[in-house]
A and B are shown apart, each in its own frame.
Chain A
Amino acid sequence: MRFSEQILANSFGVCTAMSTADWSKLPVELLGLISSRLHFAEDCVRFGAVCKSWRISILQHGNYSCSFLPWLMRPQTKHESLRRFYSPFNGKGFRDSFVCKVILSASPCSSDCVIFAIYADNWKMAFVKPGDVSWTPLSCIHGHVDDAMCHDGKFYAIDTFGEILIWDLAGSFLKRIAFTPSRGMDNLVYVTTYLVELEGQIYAIMRLLFDTRITDTPCLTTWCFEIYKLDICNEKWEEVKSLGDWSIFVGSNHSFSISCSTYPECESNCIYFTDDFSGVYYKAVFSYDIGVYNVQNDRVQSLPQEDISDFAFSLPLWIIPSLS
């Protein structure tokens, strides 16, 4: 139907005389024309929070992937857990959390590499693949995520509710499995759980810390580790008392294992840990909580360390050097 015919057809319809202005019923494409003129990210976010149709317009018009006026990210301050941002175009300041941990499914040189990030104070996760224009958030996260890993074409995360969440590499949620450590939790001990692959199996490594404060400032110190192996077919966890010829490296880095028969310089059956503040405190007080836990004799040996950094988020990390 051409415009002219359409008008003639419409003219036989019932006429409405008075204004029926209902901004929630403005067609989505017209809402898009308005929202695309909002050049400050915060205005666009609030636009999408007004009502359902405005939200849909923002999502459909891809405003979220559009670029807005730049912000200046302020240098880190000593004690803040959030980074501060500033817009010179309207003089406003913001604070937002940042990425806590990044996990790669393969070498970043590989085209199948998927990069996962835990962010927003460990409450959210997202992934990105080479060629993607933006991050895709992972759904179904309802708690503080401690750690995540890639294994066998799937993506795993463990949260503080004691659940393992599983997605495929396209980000579709598959299932959750309860993590059932034999140890009962009490309030005196702080726990962080890491996920690590060892000889093709999934392990959950529980790091138990306690508060060794002498002053009012909390000071978490690693006390011991407990190791659990996942029987993925039966969804059961089995406590393991030895890592055999292997050792594990945990902290703010992605958790990994090393075969000590291949690298005999590395002490076997040990957990090498660095301070990640275990999501509780943001500043080391006297020294970092870095050391080696020997699984067999249940002892912690400290590693030599430098002075405390002034920067709360400049954390010590385990990395594997590469020359490529």
Chain B
Amino acid sequence: MVKLKSNDDKEFEVEEAAVIQSEMIKNMIEDGCATSVIPLPNIDSKTLIKVIEYLNKHINMGKAAETGEEDDLKEFDEQFVNMGWEELFDVIMAANYLNIHELMELCCQSAADRLKNKSVRAVREMLKITNDLTEEEEQEIINDAPWAFEGPEIDDTVN
């Protein structure tokens, strides 16, 4: 078992087989630097719980195909990324920090899927992004590809 500590001082025990899906922790273990608790100063406990949930489920990823659990895993992934934008941001940052390739892929794909067909206005509102482009820059982008901003099919709703 490996102990992980979140930045709000909560400790979690995780099976080594699960936690080595993180390239970063795998390297630490191989270097013999994971003898006691591994502090994760960039990750809060709420996000760490999410990440551990993912790691535990994907522990036997390689065997999933053999045991016919592929669909199960797919369903888990779908449920897993069903989270708010804030939480998704935290998980992406954590997956990047811990270097968990598959989790990165999953989260970035989810973000991309949610952005598809959305209007710029809707994206800014959903993700609480302040528009810091100048009027000229914005106009230039629109002039370069006016077709990307036209059409009744563009989704302007914020969910």
Contact = CB atoms under 8 A, between A and B. Distances in A.
Interface of A: 2-5, 7-8, 10-11, 13, 15-19, 21-24, 26-27, 30, 33-35, 37-38, 40-43, 45-52, 54-55, 85, 90-96, 120, 123
B85 A46 contact: no
A19 B42 CA distance: 10
A92 B7 CA distance: 47
Contacts of B112: 34-35, 37-38
A7 B147 contact: no
Nearest to A137: B144
Contacts of B144: 45
A33 B142 CA distance: 23
Given A8-B39, A19-B87, A37-B113, 14 more contacts: A2-B27, A2-B31, A4-B27, A21-B85, A21-B90, A42-B145, A43-B117, A45-B144, A45-B145, A45-B149, A49-B120, A49-B142, A51-B133, A90-B117
Interface in B126-143: 127-133, 137-138, 141-143
B119 A3 contact: no
Interface of B: 7-9, 24, 27-28, 31, 33-34, 38-42, 44, 46-47, 85-87, 89-90, 92-93, 96, 104, 108-109, 111-113, 115-120, 123-124, 127-133, 137-138, 141-151, 153
Contacts of A7: 24, 28, 38-41
Nearest to A38: B112
Contacts of B142: 49
B88 to A, nearest CB: 8
Contacts of A35: 112
B60 to A, nearest CB: 25
Given A23-B89, A33-B104, A51-B133, A41 B123 contact: no
A41 B147 CA distance: 10
Give 5 closest A-B pairs by Cβ, nearest first: A37-B112, A45-B148, A4-B33, A21-B89, A15-B7
Nearest to B116: A43
Nearest to A71: B147
Nearest to A90: B117
Contacts of B113: 37
Contacts of A4: 27-28, 31, 33-34
B108 A34 contact: yes
Interface of A is mostly: mixed
Contact of A50 (B8, B123, B150): B123
A41 B116 CA distance: 10
Contacts of A3: 24, 27-28
Nearest to A7: B39
Nearest to A91: B153
Given A10-B41, A23-B129, A49-B138, A41 B124 contact: no
Given A15-B7, A21-B85, A52 B147 contact: no
A38 B115 contact: yes
Contacts of A93: 151
B14 to A, nearest CB: 16
6 contacts: A2-B27, A8-B39, A33-B104, A37-B111, A42-B145, A45-B141
Nearest to B153: A92
Contacts of A38: 112, 115-116
A274 B138 CA distance: 38
Contacts of B131: 50-51
Given A7-B28, A17-B8, A24-B130, A46 B151 contact: no
Contacts of A41: 145, 148
Contacts of A22: 89, 128
Nearest to B47: A19
A46 B133 contact: no
A138 B108 CA distance: 34
A19 B90 contact: yes
Given A3-B24, A4-B28, A37 B109 contact: yes
Contacts of A34: 108, 111-112, 115
Given A37-B112, A48-B141, A49-B142, A42 B41 contact: no
